[in-house]
């Protein structure tokens, strides 16, 4: 009996730990938002971010979310400033977006560093399907973007 309970608890802990590693991304929904060093409007303002910036959600408290940006910096943002619509940020100086998830596919377009692309889906084989703000779609290597 004791072994059964121990085994059940172990499986529950392993399952919970595995799911805790899933990353939850959001994007800035407003034209500009302020990042704070604590979850309060009275806290120190540390940065202003623009619409569509992808942010990893770390902790959520009432009206505030602790987020991580592409540089790894942590800050707090008002929950109302976030959107569940996902975007990725181009991290390389110039990223090539292909018409299909292959490097020998025709090029759909090229885009510069820090451009926000709408995340459509992850292929699971190292590619991300994206849409440019101008409407063009294609596949970019996951290693060239952040927020996937």
Fold classification of 87-146 is SH3 type barrels. (2.30.30)
pLDDT in tens, 49-71: 999 999 999 999 999 999 999 99
pLDDT per residue, tens digit, the chain (148 aa), is 554 444 444 444 433 443 344 579 999 999 999 999 999 999 999 999 999 999 999 999 999 999 999 999 999 999 999 999 999 999 999 999 999 999 999 999 999 999 999 999 998 899 999 999 999 999 999 999 999 8
Domain boundaries, the chain: 22-83, 87-146
For residue 143, count other CB atoms closer than 10 A to its CB: 13
User: Which pLDDT does position 2 carry in this prediction?
Assistant: 52
Which positions ≥6 away from 107 have C-beta within 8 Å?
Answer: 96, 97, 98, 99
For residues 9 and 34, what is the distance between their CA atoms, to the nearest angstrom?
A: 42
Q: What is the DSSP string of 61-90?
A: ETTEEEEE-TT--EEEEEGGGEESS-EEEE
pTM over 0.85: no
Which architecture characterizes domain 22-83 according to CATH?
Roll (2.30)
Question: 60-96 burial by CB neighbour count: b if 16+ within 10 A, else e?
Answer: eeeebbbbebbeeeebbbbeebbeeebbbbbeeeebb
pLDDT of residue 27: 97
Structure confidence at residue 87 (pLDDT): 97
**Is residue 59 helix, strand or coil?**
strand
The domains spanning 22-83 and 87-146 adopt the same CATH topology: yes
């Amino acid at each position: 009996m004791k072994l059964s309970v121990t085994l059940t608890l172990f499986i529950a802990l392993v399952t919970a730990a595995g799911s805790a590693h899933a990353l939850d991304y959001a994007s800035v929904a407003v034209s500009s938002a302020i990042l704070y060093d604590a979850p309060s409007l009275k806290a120190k303002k540390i940065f202003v971010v623009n619409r569509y910036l992808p942010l990893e959600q770390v902790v959520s408290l009432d009206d505030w979310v602790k987020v991580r940006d592409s540089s790894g910096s942590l800050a707090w943002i008002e929950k109302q400033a976030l959107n569940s619509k996902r975007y990725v940020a181009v991290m390389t100086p110039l990223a090539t977006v292909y018409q299909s998830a292959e490097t020998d596919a025709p090029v759909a377009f090229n885009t510069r560093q820090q451009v926000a692309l709408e995340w459509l889906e992850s292929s699971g084989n190292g590619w991300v399907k994206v849409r440019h703000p101008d409407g063009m779609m294609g596949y970019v290597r996951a290693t060239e973007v952040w927020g996937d």
